[in-house]
Amino acid sequence: MDNFRMVVFVALILVFCLNASFAEFIFARGPDHSKGLPCPGNTYKTCLPGFRCEEGSGKNGCVRSFRKIAFEAYTTNTVGHFPNGKVLIFPKVSVNDGQGYNAKTGVFKAPVAGLYRFTVHVCSASSKHMVVAIMKGGKQIAVTTIFTEPHSGCGSHSTMARVAENESVHVEARWSDSRLQSDIYRWPSFSGFLMYRYD
């Protein structure tokens, strides 16, 4: 009898785990919202910034809000040589409303078509050049050069661009001997936000 109960118990656990995995596979959509903001009137449901709470089909969900798309990412310890064409990755994210920026690749993918404004802020090593461009897909849409001596220096550049839905924007080095500097006193960054949406 004890063996029978044990078999039933193990079977119930397996059924529960399989059902949970299946449900998770079916209903998992997009990013993890568990660390998001509480939904109004709901003490257990949360959604990430850039999403709104919405109820449907008897269950709550998080729906992307296209009115709130903005990101800012930076680095505090990225230094060294950046050859022409190398993508700059800003791994520390302070804002990512709409979840368009990927901190692992350094690429922003527009959740919706519209007019966006992008800003890059970089610092060059002492007496070295740092040449960077904002790239939309494979096309350069803005470029700037930072050079100071005898110490390192920083500079910023902004641009506006019409970006299609799912089109990518990133920052890359545009000179063969660009030298980036970042530390506790210098935080290179990449940011952008949706100015208005194209209907």
pLDDT of residue 193: 97
pLDDT of residue 57: 39
Q: What is the C-alpha separation between 77 and 31, in angstroms, rounded?
A: 27
**Interior/surface letters 41-71, b for 16+ CB within 10 angstroms, e for the rest:** eeeebbbbebbebeeeeeeebbebbbeebbb
Tokens of 162: 């019409």
Give Cβ neighbours of residue 19 (< 8 Å, ≥ 6 apart). Answer: none
Q: How confident is the model at residue 3 (pLDDT cuts 50, 70, 90)?
A: low
Evaluate if pTM is beyond 0.85. Answer: no
Q: Give the residue with greater pLDDT, 33 vs 55.
A: 33
